[in-house]
Amino acid sequence: MQLKYSNLLDKMALISFEDFLKVEICVGTILTAEENNILNKPSIILTIDFGEKIGIKKSSAQLKENYNCVDLINKQVAAIINFSPKQIGNLISEALVLGFPDENNEPVLVTPDFKVKNGKRLY
């Protein structure tokens, strides 16, 4: 059953602007993308450059339904960079790449329309 927007807002916890500022959502450029078929749901291991101040971070993302590794190289993506590192299979994921679900509930990446300097923060 699909929730109506007004019902969803009623059930959602409201956060303050200060809470939002705690979440570091930054843009980075994918340097490498490698398939990881060891996991229950195969994923792609991404190496992402978030610029000089943040550096390079790894992320595991279940993107194989909508993306292939070759097309991800040099793509800019939005990611949360201040979550605690998480063990995902044989990888420590250091960033959470953001996306929206498509009609099959598979991720479609959040990307800027224009080239943005790596490490810039969402506002």
Edge-to-edge strands of the sheet including 76-80?
56-61, 43-49, 25-36, 76-80, 96-97
If you average pLDDT over residues 53-81, what whole number do you get? 97
Q: Is the pLDDT of residue 79 over 60?
A: yes
Question: Which has more pLDDT, 123 or 74?
Answer: 74
Look up the pTM and report it.
Answer: 0.87
Q: Is the pLDDT of residue 8 over 70?
A: no
Question: Which has more pLDDT, 100 or 8?
Answer: 100
Report pLDDT for 4. 53
If you average pLDDT over residues 72-83, what whole number do you get? 97
Q: Which homologous superfamily is 23-109 in?
A: Nucleic acid-binding proteins (2.40.50.140)
